[in-house]
Structure 1
Amino acid sequence: MYINKVFLAVLLGLISVTARAGLPIQHWQSASGAQVYFVENHDLPILDVSVNFSAGSSFDTRDKAGTAAMTQGMLALGAGGLSDDRIAGKFAELGAQLGGDFDPDRAGLKLRTLSSERERSQAVGLFATVLQQPDFPAAVLEREKARTIAGLREAATQPESISAKAFSAALYGSHPYGNDEAVEPETVEKISRDDLAVFYRAHYTRHGAIVAVIGDLTRSQAEQLAEQLTAKLADGPAAAAIPPLPLPLQPVEKRIPHPAAQSHILLGYPGIKRIDPDYFPLYVGNYILGGGGFVSRLTEEVREKRGLAYSVYSYFMPMREAGPFQIGLQTKREQTGQALALVRDTLKKFVKDGPAAQELKAAKDNLTGGFALRLDSNAKVLDYLEVIGFYSLPLTWLDDYVGSVNKVTVAQIKDAFARRIKPDNMVTVVVGSDAK
């Protein structure tokens, strides 16, 4: 057992997927009804697999917000009659690692294990038990509820958490994407074991399962694995669609007092869906605006020229419906007004004029030149397989990435930002400022 653990630990530090032109993604529907996405790679004796479902926080109810996260978190804390300690111990004995995914859209678990027959069969068997036979032990649930409530109360004192929660509430309101910020000690306290069991049966279904697999496995073995992991899931209907998010018709600004030495500032607007014709113009444009770190417009204006913040960023988070476009920074309390005005002015100029040609060239060079590093390990490829599968992206999405970036023009960026981002209608949250 010791040799297995050491061997896997060494392998985890190695590059296991070499940069290559073309990633051969295989896709099929399993006999159970699950969608499977598979990349065969025998470079190292490792297997990475994940199973995701439409079971994120957007499927919660407001009165028991936190049920979706608690369901996902409890899967490995008691299953098939095994205790949480026994499950963790068995994975450790096999040198395997268990992880997970959770966001407003999706929830699931992932496994990394050696691909040798003994370790793989036992690790995958235990993974199947965790996915398909959760016990949701009452005593463990009470423990996890207490831990979650303590975390929520601690977060309620931290400016980063306060600003994020207020920003999401202001941007999403009663939309399901605001459910995650509706999680409070009171809603968590209401969650029962029956709530978890009902949520699990409704959302962790075999027809809703997205299985992603990469590693030292043949197609035939991958087919058997996908069936083993999903055949005993419930046979439920597809998840309900998430409603579109209405766009803000007027600006919203919220200032929250806090004794922190710095103000925490967030600005945002509804962004884009994962499948969106404006994806690449907005993606490349945002790299120039605030996603490129020290080479971005916002960093140049706010940090380099005026020293108003150590770090300032912007990003799009594409989801099934419009995820947020967000700008964030921290600044001294007495500089809040100046920094906020500068960020708004920089955004307005970018939306109005777009980027310069030399900025676009530099962005393309950086994005395409660094893309190989996004595929230099099994774990990174697995993350992409999950997204491609869950959001039904083209199987050639990764192969097409460099070409899609290089096709973006200054005019496309200017047009996309002008249509999609309205600086005068932004949501703004400031935590820690005394300014009115």
Structure 2
Amino acid sequence: MTRLRPWKYLAALLLCGAGVAHAALPIEQWIHPSGARVHLVSSPAIPMLDLSVDFDAGSRRDPAAQAGLARATASMLDKGLAAADGQPALDENALAEAWLDLGAQFGASASSDRMGFALRSLTEPALLARATALAARQLAHPAFPEAVWARERERSLAALREAETRPGTHAGRAYSRAVYQGHPYGQETTADSLRAIGVADMARFYRQHVMACGARVSLVGAIDRAAADRIVGQLMAGIASHGCRALPNVPEVAPLAAPREERIVFAAAQAQVLLGQPGIRRDDPDFLTLLVGNHILGASGFTSRLMDEVREKRGLTYGVYSSLAPGRHAGAFTISLQTRPDQAEAALALSREVLTRFVAEGPTAAELQAAKDALIKGFALRLDSNRKLLDNVANLAWNDLPLDYLDTWTTKVAAVTVDDIRRAFQRVLAPDRMVSVIVGGKAP
């Protein structure tokens, strides 16, 4: 009989279990002695564990002169381990091979608000023990090798140079600068800020912000609470030396006092058009109401009101969308599209008109019912695998949402009314005080 290597066995299990739904499973929550907040969904259907650990170490914590520090730090966390506790150092290749031999995965990433780590492993006891030990070591003893950062920085600088050739880069930069008005959400990673980042800065940032007392740990898989608590303890023990301290407050995003227009000449076949303003924090009580309303306005693809008015009726674009980006602070509400440069002003004016009418009147009853049907029927697809369920549980944990949030989501969506949407949109959005950006076309 042929023996599968762990990673092949894991792939086979994932294929077999891709359709398993977990929506009815209860979520357990507790505070570990380290201070980490833990959320667990015991899911015995597949012998696998998905785990995430999130820290308040996102790019909103970057010093202005070192914008990009959080993301650079996260990108270096799989580039080697320092020698410690009687174990030899591992370079990036040896570390990658160690994970491959386990058939497990472990990685880090950073967003505006958080730095996160994700572990995936089979729950066969010997394999899970080794995977947990390696993950704990990677959390505790990242190496930050100077030569590797020099290489990675050059790659990032090359990517920045290439991005300068795309109109979307210039549009996004001008838009973020105008919407966020100096808030860290709008900080831009530049060649100068990357060159200002050294490995000592990464190590210091990591120790200052990755602390057990601020961790949010989410687990989904074939383990019970006792096993989960042991795993969390092992992971948190490695960073206990980082201590526990309160991080400085980050200011809120200021509302826009007046409209602002940005017109940037750029030789490109398509103009980039953006319209928007600071939106809401994730803890806004109208989050679900705004989500439903935005689905109708511009998030539902070809069935949205913006798509119908701007594309289908006038032919001004192939696609137009609206989005909400709530976080620990007010993330942007944005309408975005591409069009021919000679149509850009007309497309922008029509998009603003559609938005203004939607804010004033709200959706029709038929639009609202169609949105509810689509969102509620599609909800099961958000939870049809361990990884998707983990993402939802981690979101619940990070945003301090109630444990029954997933259970009541469809009921709350079904209860949203036309008046609710109109009230919420009028409270949050001011179409006459928005940032508009057009990148494209020739100089007048």
Residue 304 of structure 1 pairs with residue 312 of structure 2: yes
The aligned residue for residue 333 of structure 1 is 341
SS of structure 2 residue aligned to 1:308: coil
SS of structure 2 residue aligned to 1:318: coil
| Cα pair distance change 1:238/1:362, threshold 3 Å | same
Residue 232 of structure 1 pairs with residue 238 of structure 2: yes
SS of structure 1 residue aligned to 2:9: helix
Residue 7 of structure 1 pairs with residue 15 of structure 2: no
TM-superposed CA distance for 1:20, in Å, is 5.3
The aligned residue for residue 190 of structure 2 is 184
The aligned residue for residue 356 of structure 1 is 364
Residue 50 of structure 1 pairs with residue 56 of structure 2: no
- In 2, Cα distance between equivalents of 1:98 and 1:311: 36
Which runs of no fewer than 5 residues in structure 2 stay unpaired?
A: 83-88
| Cα pair distance change 1:85/1:140, threshold 3 Å | same
CA deviations 1:71-99 (Å, max 9, x no partner) are 11111111232111111111112221233
The aligned residue for residue 26 of structure 1 is 28
2:117 pairs with one of 88, 109, 124: 109
Aligned pairs for 1:9-408 within 5 A: 9-16=11-18, 18-19=20-21, 22-80=24-82, 81-179=89-187, 181=188, 183-233=189-239, 234-408=242-416
The aligned residue for residue 85 of structure 2 is none
- In 2, Cα distance between equivalents of 1:422 and 1:289: 15
1:222 maps to a residue whose letter is A
| Cα pair distance change 1:21/1:41, threshold 3 Å | closer
CA deviations 1:271-314 (Å, max 9, x no partner) are 11111111111111000000111110001111111221111111
| Cα pair distance change 1:21/1:204, threshold 3 Å | closer
Name the TM-score, length of structure 2 as normaliser: 0.95
Moved more, 12-21 or 216-225: 12-21
Which runs of no fewer than 5 residues in structure 1 stay unpaired?
A: none
1:303 maps to a residue whose letter is R
| Cα pair distance change 1:433/1:14, threshold 3 Å | farther
1:174 maps to a residue whose letter is G
CA contact (8 A) 1:201 1:236 kept: no
Name the TM-score, length of structure 1 as normaliser: 0.96
What is the alpha-carbon root mean square deviation over aligned residues?
1.5
1:426 maps to a residue whose letter is M
TM-superposed CA distance for 1:21, in Å, is 5.2
The aligned residue for residue 86 of structure 2 is none
TM-superposed CA distance for 1:133, in Å, is 1.1
SS of structure 2 residue aligned to 1:328: strand
SS of structure 1 residue aligned to 2:213: coil
The aligned residue for residue 420 of structure 1 is 428
CA contact (8 A) 1:46 1:113 kept: yes
Identity of aligned residues (%): 44
